[in-house]
Structure 1
Amino acid sequence: MTTTDRVLTGERADLLQTIGKHRGFLRQTVQGLTDEQAATRSTASELCLGGLIKHVTSVEHRWARFMAGGAEAMESEPVDWAGMFRMSADETLTGLLAGYAATAARTDELIATLDLDASHPLPVAPWFEPGASWSVRRTLLHVIAETAQHAGHADIIRESIDGAKTMG
């Protein structure tokens, strides 16, 4: 049974609606772009729209692994930290969006099924409080915030490419 096969209410419905809204803003920002435009650095930063889709996909995938299995599961796959913000010549926007959709579907299943109060110790890293744990709920809030922040970045980049705006 998938999230589309069941009716979720309350907090789970709110989480799905919120993350879905911010994912939608991000996807809307890249609508109608060519692969070349999606790979374009249009601001002083290293960011491009394809790279943002790639980054958000990677971040959501890693945190989904954390929610399901803790820090060990999260860190069990290698990460290309520098490359995750760039769109390589062999990548297409269509392919990156398909990967994002698959990751989103997996996260949505976790939202529908995991105990939101279950928690795991965070990975050891200088940006996390030593010894802290995050619940599934707290992790989802982090993913939502990350997605919303990057949707805003994407809007600025898109506007500097061709003047299009996600909102307004």
Structure 2
Amino acid sequence: MQAIQSLFPDDIVAMARRVVEENAAIGRKIVLAESCTGGLVAAAITEIPGSSAVLDRAYVTYSNEAKQSDLGVPLDILDAFGAVSVACCFAMTQGALERSEADVAVAVSGIAGPDGATDLKPLGTVVFAKAIRGEEKPDADERLFAGENRCGVRLQATLCALELLLP
């Protein structure tokens, strides 16, 4: 029986390796704030030897309560826009940066299914945000991974979040 080399598909491992190598080369630390990915982004990064030079910490804030208590996401943002929103993900990045020594934060929140979808936020909707310490302009994006099952949505979201961590 052959040993498993990685928990992740090759494309995610390759992207995680780039994240670790390229951020290490510039001395940049990262922090993650994950919801629908449930720690997959952090797990992918820690698959790579040397990741401790890059990953400062990761928050898995799956519930709205965790987003509030662990990252300081304001209740009014959650009430007005929901957890799957640019406003929430941006607040998640800000909270992660405030609570870490990292230089860059990436947040991800979405609807992996099979429940939770609405007409405005269908199954496969995932929102990402990136913030760099000292810069006022956040980067945010919303994607729809249509046709994917729960696992597929989470893996696609992991890959996108990793891409945001490239310098």
Give the strand-richer structure, 1 or 2: 2
Larger radius of gyration: 1
Q: TM class, shorter-chain normalised?
A: 0.3 to 0.5
Give the helix-richer structure, 1 or 2: 1
| TM-score normalised over the length of structure 1 | 0.36
**Higher RCO, 1 vs 2 (CA within 8 Å, ≥6 residues apart):** 1
